[in-house]
Amino acid sequence: MSFNYSQSLRLMSDERKEDGESFFYQKKVRMGLMMKKKDKIKVLLVDDEEEFVKTLSERLQMRDVDSETAFDGEQAIELVSEKQPDVIVLDLKMPGLHGLDVLRWIKNFHPEVQVIIMTGHGTEHDEEKARELGAFDYLKKPVETDSLVQKIKVAYKAHFEDAMSAVAFAESGEFDTAKEIMRGEGPGGNDSESSEQNKDKENKN
């Protein structure tokens, strides 16, 4: 990736305060329109224990959850932008980037994505920090797969309702930008443009 991780991991600058809200609002509307069309929840599983994460992915797929895997934080960051998952299940202690740094990055650049922390080694301090950074839930391994699917569904529901409220607002047609998005003409009017626009934003930071 072209941007510097340590730079991008910093909290977003004043730029976000100025135009970030509208940027994320537009993104949320587009996300909501996409969600209306699809039938499966898209999950990204991030854990350095490859066999664990591959097996879990296989089991989630048997439960009609569309899952991708990443084996470290850097790979997770690349896949979040590329695959645009609805929910991320994230380990904390991994080689390279720590899970909390990945969570911070996700919440800065993709705040609409729900993140469930699932770790075998978390401390109370880690849990507090994760929730402070915006983690949807904090689970300690081992977790029953059916319980995890339930948690994922609850996280997705929160994500879905949030996106739908943005769509409803856009459908009211009060603002020009929203009208453009609904017509598929606005900034990042289709999914690929949306992804490109987000990448530009990441590069700037």
Residue ranges that bind other proteins, judged by CB under 8 A:
48-49, 51-52, 55-56, 58-59, 62, 93-96, 120-121, 141-142, 145
Shortest Å distance, C-beta 46 to other proteins = 14
Shortest Å distance, C-beta 69 to other proteins = 13
Shortest Å distance, C-beta 94 to other proteins = 7
Best CA proximity match to 97, nearest among 3, 197, 5, 203: 5
Residue closer to other proteins, measured from CB, 96 or 134: 96
Task: Tell the burial category of 80 from Cβ atoms under 10 Å away from its Cβ (0-12, 13-18, 19+).
Answer: buried
Residue closer to other proteins, measured from CB, 92 or 115: 92
Phi, psi of 38 (to 5 degrees): -95, 160
Classify residue 17 by its DSSP letter. I
Task: Tell the burial category of 52 from Cβ atoms under 10 Å away from its Cβ (0-12, 13-18, 19+).
Answer: middle
Q: Coil, strand or helix: which one is 89?
A: strand
Residue closer to other proteins, measured from CB, 95 or 184: 95
Residue closer to other proteins, measured from CB, 72 or 112: 72
Phi, psi of 183 (to 5 degrees): -85, -5
Going by their DSSP bridges, the two strands 66-70 and 114-119 should be labelled as unpaired
Shortest Å distance, C-beta 203 to other proteins = 25
Shortest Å distance, C-beta 116 to other proteins = 15
Residue closer to other proteins, measured from CB, 149 or 181: 149
